[in-house]
Amino acid sequence: MNSREIIVNVLGNVFNEKAYSNIVLNKTLNKAEISAKDKAFITEVVYGTVKYRYTIDVILSHYVKKGFKSVEPYVLNVLRSSIYQIRYLSKVPDFAVVNEAVELSKKHSSGKVAKFVNGVLRNYLRNKDEEYVKGNIEDILAFKYSFPRWMVKFFMNDFGKEKCEIILKGLNQVPGVTVRVNNIKKSYEQAYSELSELGYTIEEGEICPEALRIIKGKSIENNPLFKEGCITVQDESAMLVGMVMDLEENMTVIDLCSAPGGKTTHMAEIMNNTGKILAFDIHENKLKLIRDNSERLGINNIEANTLDASEFHEDLEGVAHRVLMDVPCSGLGIIRKKPEIKWNKNKNELKDLVNIQRKILKNGSRYLKKGGILVYSTCTLNKEENEKNINWFLKENPEFKLEKIYVGDLDNLIYHQEGYVTILPNKYMDGFFIAKLKKS
């Protein structure tokens, strides 16, 4: 199977079966006996085609006169990946893209289909500079940044035009790699020095004291510092959660939605492996990720168990100094890592999540000791799931007060008057929301 066949098969899984691009891509590439160069090409085209699907489909609709339903899904994904290469990649000559697409179509289907594919792509090449979208600002932004129109309107309503465009641009960035230095095993200076000696180009993180950015270098998972548990991959937005919790040694902490354990292990490191962290998740199979991460990082103060956070558990009432609820959310802030979220989410799903989030908030607040701190976080940019949930909770629970969060001055941080913070996405930080509440 050649590179372009793999690309089309992976796209079929993502678009037609709603698979996660990163999972299906990793599984496929691990099995394939191909060069590192081919793997990089496949990765680039798959993520690029998923990311720019809206724009690509608008273009294709001009040349597929009978509509997409007249084209079998496999052939449609041949066309999508080809338009992506022609429009967004300069390293592959246009004629080569067309020839490969035609050969792939012949192999999969009839000569008639191959002729159709050839005609569509050559039509596009003749009209590459055509202005495909005219109309209002939402249509223009949807085409320019390749987001479904409802999502553009959604961000525009919540953030206004200027910030909406910043968000769309940020969510299309290729994510940079950031690692967190594990202070239990290695100092920041030692990790920095050893990574440099191993040939990595690195720089300090933007805002978190434990953060290191990998600018250039081999896969982090194969790095000896990673294998020894001296570093772990984590986005800086996620690191901020542990930073704002005012953690101290020997505390009891509850993490209600903890898998895969990035924030859980960060809290353990901040507490110098003392005290106790009760890490819960509803899925038993995900707890292994927490335990494996803890073992690699040399952490032994985490107890991982299954628990449905949307149900109240009497035995946990009033036991914790700190409670973290990084709740299940729509994930609109992490589209740069999971671009299929653009196509797999709809407005109705966003509303369904709010009820679950409020149940978790209500239950988690009861596990806190008096004077304790509760941190609520999401990786989404939806005010219904963020600000409105917190405002609802405060009305229902007057014994809680918002604590002001301040972590530094960055262009992508929005400090709200009430005290919570919204993080807009960019190359090194996911879109995020964090609120900190104290129980009086």
**Any idea which residues carry the catalytic annotation?**
379
Q: Helix, strand, or coil here: 422?
A: strand
CB 143 within 8 A of CB 165: no
Distance spanning both ends of the chain, measured CA to CA: 63
CB 68 within 8 A of CB 76: yes
CB 152 within 8 A of CB 141: yes
Amino acid of residue 318: G
CB 197 within 8 A of CB 216: no
- Note the Cα 292 to chain centre separation in Å: 21
Q: Helix, strand, or coil here: 401?
A: strand
DSSP run (H or E) holding 232: strand 231-233
Structure-block tokens of residue 81:
């990946």
CB 221 within 8 A of CB 232: no
Helix axes 137-145, 53-61, angle to 10 degrees: 110
Residue by residue, DSSP assigns 156-184 as HHHHHHHHHHHHHHHHTSPPPEEEEE-TT
Q: Which residues are bridge partners to 279 per DSSP? A: 255, 304
Structure-block tokens of residue 316:
């946990």
Beta carbons within 8 Å of 330's beta carbon, 6+ residues apart: 341, 345, 349, 350, 353, 380, 382, 385
Q: How many helices (H) and strands (E) does the chain have?
A: 17, 13
Beta carbons within 8 Å of 294's beta carbon, 6+ residues apart: 261, 264, 265, 268, 300, 302, 304
Beta carbons within 8 Å of 367's beta carbon, 6+ residues apart: 254, 313, 316, 317, 318, 319, 320, 323
Beta carbons within 8 Å of 19's beta carbon, 6+ residues apart: 13, 340
Sign of CA dihedral 352, 19, 259, 48: negative
Say how many residues make up the chain: 440
Structure-block tokens of residue 82:
């080809």
